[in-house]
Amino acid sequence: MSGEKKLIGIGVMSMALLMGMMLVFGGIAQAAKAATSKVAVVNGVVITRKDLDRSVDQTRRRFAQMGQKLEGKSLENVQGKVLDTLIDRELLYQESKKEGIKIPKAKIDKEIEGLRKKFPDKKSFAKALKTVNLTEKELEAQIRRQLAIKELIDKKVASKVKITDKEAKAFYDKHPEYFKKPAEVRASHILVKVASDADKKKVAAAKKKIEAAQARLKKGEDFAKVAKEVSEGPSSKKGGDLGFFKKGQMVKPFEEAAFAMKPGQTSGIVRTRFGFHIIKVTDKKPASKVPFKEAKDRIEAYLKQKKVRDNVQVLIASLRKTAKIKKFPLKGK
């Protein structure tokens, strides 16, 4: 659903997204790290400079992948936001322990094994951990904390969030732009490939071949039969059928020809950068709106996710009110 925001940081996340989560908020607060400088203390638990630097470094990588550089004031802002997130997560983890939530080692091992399977071998997995500055022991602690926080959120927040049909329908009516279905065309084609920069001899040979196919169609031969025998595209096995497509999915000359025709009509020869085409439109769907019944489940999932996110922030705010939090001045690396 366009326009929908995804939960980031604190929220209900699948463990399949754990590695992505660690790239942003990879810190593990442990009082045992007293030898490392403190950036915060949360109810007696230390968040170290190492925790913060690791998380900020991964955030920098994320920004770099998007062609953006974190420095100066932007870096200072990110440091502050990441530290607040580490504090929030520590508060949630502490609350999970108060609620008596314990994660069995077997469950943690299963998650780690699931992550390992995403890599071709143990060496690649170890290299990935090194890239995000984590040891296997720290990864285990990370997963234990994440699962405990998720269980806490499921228990105290998500299980209590219900979305009514009335709420879902109100969202549907208020945001018609999210449920627009653009016009679609179903077409088949016969393609004779020739590069756009091909020499005259190759172009002439390709044109001769497509013209021969066109002549067969004019004599009444079945389009699918000719496509199977002549077309050089992967769709030839299906008689040239490309299925339904909307504007923006095909190259411009092809799209313009297809959308200009009615079902049953066949085009003349159309040249694109792929070569020469003959197009037959087999069906059309006008622009429409996704029915509420069809969109209802997605709307409810989105609204629940949003409510959970908002209610988690309420929970964190209440935990902060009674917590003893001390932050230390941050300096750039």
pLDDT tens digits for range 78-134:
889 999 999 999 999 999 999 999 999 999 999 999 999 999 998 999 998 888 778
Would the pLDDT of 281 be above 70? yes
Give dist(CA 28, CA 102) in Å, integer: 17
Closest CA to 93 of 25, 35, 33: 25
Would the pLDDT of 224 be above 80? yes
How far apart, in Å, are the Cα atoms of 276 and each of 151, 161, 254, 272, 291?
Answer: 58, 56, 10, 6, 39
- Please, which pLDDT band fits residue 241 given cuts at 50, 70 and 90? very high
Residue 196: CB atoms within 10 Å: 10
- Contact assessment for residue 263 and residue 282, using Cβ atoms and an 8 Å cutoff: yes
Strand ranges inside the chain, DSSP E:
38-42, 45-48, 180-181, 184-193, 241-246, 266-272, 275-285, 288-289, 325-327
Would the pLDDT of 28 be above 50? no
- Please, which pLDDT band fits residue 26 given cuts at 50, 70 and 90? very low
Q: Where are the domains of the chain?
A: 15-168+293-327, 183-286
**In CATH, 183-286 is 3.90.1580.10:** no
- Please, which pLDDT band fits residue 295 given cuts at 50, 70 and 90? very high
- Please, which pLDDT band fits residue 62 given cuts at 50, 70 and 90? confident
Give dist(CA 95, CA 150) in Å, integer: 12
Closest CA to 146 of 307, 46, 18: 18
- Contact assessment for residue 89 and residue 149, using Cβ atoms and an 8 Å cutoff: yes
- Please, which pLDDT band fits residue 20 given cuts at 50, 70 and 90? very low
pTM over 0.75: no
Q: What is the dihedral of CA 113, 115, 121, 124, to 10 degrees?
A: -140
Would the pLDDT of 33 be above 50? no
Would the pLDDT of 189 be above 70? yes
Give the pLDDT score at 332.
53
- Contact assessment for residue 316 and residue 28, using Cβ atoms and an 8 Å cutoff: no
Percent of the chain clearing pLDDT 90 (strictly above): 73
Give the pLDDT score at 36.
59
Q: φ and ψ at 116, to 5 degrees?
A: -60, -40
Would the pLDDT of 274 be above 80? yes
pLDDT in tens, 252-268: 999 999 999 999 999 99
- Please, which pLDDT band fits residue 58 given cuts at 50, 70 and 90? confident
Q: Please identify which residue in the block is written with the tokens 């490939």.
A: 193
Closest CA to 52 of 91, 82, 10, 74: 82
Residue type, 51: D
Give the pLDDT score at 15.
33
The two structure tokens encoding residue 167: 């709420």
Q: What is the dihedral of CA 112, 16, 141, 58, to 10 degrees?
A: 120
Q: What is the CATH number of domain 15-168+293-327?
A: 1.10.4030.10
pLDDT in tens, 140-162: 998 999 999 999 999 999 999 99
Give the pLDDT score at 16.
35
Mean pLDDT, rounded, of the chain: 87
Would the pLDDT of 6 be above 60? no
- Please, which pLDDT band fits residue 50 given cuts at 50, 70 and 90? confident
